[in-house]
């Protein structure tokens, strides 16, 4: 797995937009599941190779959205294999990595454990500016953040696998909101891309540990790239969204609350964009 990060820094407006949209999801994860709007349509992508489909990715996006498959490939990393599925959504790049570790977890990992697992496949994960707010994907805990001009979200579809979703900043906020709200990856647990003999007890563990250890040194040497993301803006905007969500009238019905939450988030987003244009 290798995350392609362009050299250009993340725009501060993207950081604010990201925090507002994902802060809304984090503050009220149930709201997104209340009623599916008629304007949304399912988007399905198989995750596999020329022989097998190991999983299926499904979500809802605006019916006018255009999705174009780009490529699928199976990649090796020191501690296992991952399947990369790439497509364009309204012209913005989306990459989905499904990791199959040689030493798979037996339980759902906490945030730090999931970060460590991802870092064995790509050490640039250590440079992500993570949000401290919780996010749930398909009712499972997820981590999310930004790295350069990319948005990343990760979770475990099953105990033995991990998924990393990498999206370009050009994806509009409404599409992004629904994309993450309804996203789910269903894994066929009877299949694996790892052939017999690929993993050895000593090599997989040693290589995985070495990659994780080396990630710390790499992070220190590459902080100029991580500095592209304004951490203070991310923290402030996320906190503002959380406070806004907590102040909503508790007597509202779930659907009314969901509508109010979304309207408030989009209004704050427009205010942020307007302020940036001045």
Terminal CA-CA length for the chain:
40
This prediction has a pTM of 0.68
Q: What is the pLDDT of residue 202?
A: 33
Residues whose CB falls within 8 Å of the CB of residue 168, separated by 6 or more in sequence, listed in order: 92, 93, 94, 149, 150, 151
Q: Which of 164, 162, 5 is nearest to 97 (CA)?
A: 164
Dump pLDDT digits (tens) for 89-114.
999 999 999 999 999 999 999 999 99
Give a three-class secondary structure readout of the chain. Answer: CCCCCCCCCCCHHHHHHHHHHHHHHHHCCCHHHCCCCCCEEEEEEEEECCCCEEEEEEEEEECCCCEEEEEEEEEEECCEEEEEEEEEECCEEEEEEEEEECCCCCCCCCHHHHHHHHHCCCHHHHHCEECCCCEEECCEEEEEEEECCEEEEEECCCCCCEEEEEEECCCCHHHHHHHHHCCEEEECCCCCCCCCCCCCHHHHHHHHHHHHHHHHHHHHHCHHHHCCCCHHHHHHHHHHHHHHHHCCCCCCCHHHHHHHHHHHHHHHHHHHHHHHHC
Average pLDDT of every residue of the chain: 74
Biggest CA pair distance of the chain: 60
Dump pLDDT digits (tens) for 194-209.
999 999 853 444 454 4
Residues whose CB falls within 8 Å of the CB of residue 242, separated by 6 or more in sequence, listed in order: 23, 26, 27, 133
Contact call for residues 242 and 27 (beta carbons, < 8 A): yes
Residue 243, token pair as written in the block = 């406070």
Q: How many residues does the chain have?
A: 278
Q: What is the mean pLDDT of residues 222-239?
A: 43
The pairing of beta strand 67-77 with beta strand 80-89: antiparallel
Q: What is the mean pLDDT of residues 153-166?
A: 97
> What is the rounded CA–CA span in Å between residue 177 and residue 6?
23
Band the pLDDT of 7: cuts 50, 70, 90.
Answer: very low
In the chain, where the domains are located? 37-230
- Pick 228 or 111 by higher pLDDT: 111
């Amino acid at each position: 797995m290798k995350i392609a990060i362009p050299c250009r820094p993340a725009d501060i407006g993207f950081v604010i937009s990201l925090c507002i949209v994902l802060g809304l999801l984090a503050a009220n994860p149930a709201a997104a599941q209340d009623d599916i709007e008629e304007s949304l349509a399912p988007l399905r992508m198989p995750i596999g190779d020329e022989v097998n489909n190991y999983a299926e990715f499904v979500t809802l996006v605006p019916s006018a959205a255009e999705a174009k498959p780009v490529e699928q490939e199976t990649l090796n990393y020191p501690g296992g294999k991952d399947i990369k599925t790439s497509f364009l959504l309204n012209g913005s790049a989306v990459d989905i990595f499904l990791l199959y570790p040689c030493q798979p977890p037996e339980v759902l990992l906490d945030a730090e454990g999931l970060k460590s697992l991802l870092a064995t496949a790509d050490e640039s994960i250590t440079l992500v500016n993570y949000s401290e707010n919780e996010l749930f994907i398909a009712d499972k805990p997820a981590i999310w953040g930004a790295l350069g001009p990319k948005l990343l979200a990760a979770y475990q579809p099953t105990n033995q696998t991990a998924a990393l979703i990498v999206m370009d900043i050009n994806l509009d906020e409404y599409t992004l909101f629904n994309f993450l709200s309804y996203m789910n990856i269903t894994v066929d647990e009877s299949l694996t891309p790892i052939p017999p003999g690929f993993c050895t007890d000593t090599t997989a563990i040693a290589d995985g540990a070495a990659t994780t250890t080396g990630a710390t040194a790499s992070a220190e040497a590459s902080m100029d790239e991580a500095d592209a993301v304004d951490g203070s803006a991310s923290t402030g905007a996320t906190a503002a969204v959380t406070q806004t969500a907590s102040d909503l009238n508790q007597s509202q019905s779930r659907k009314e609350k969901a509508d109010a939450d979304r309207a408030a988030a989009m209004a704050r987003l427009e205010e942020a964009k307007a302020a940036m244009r001045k």
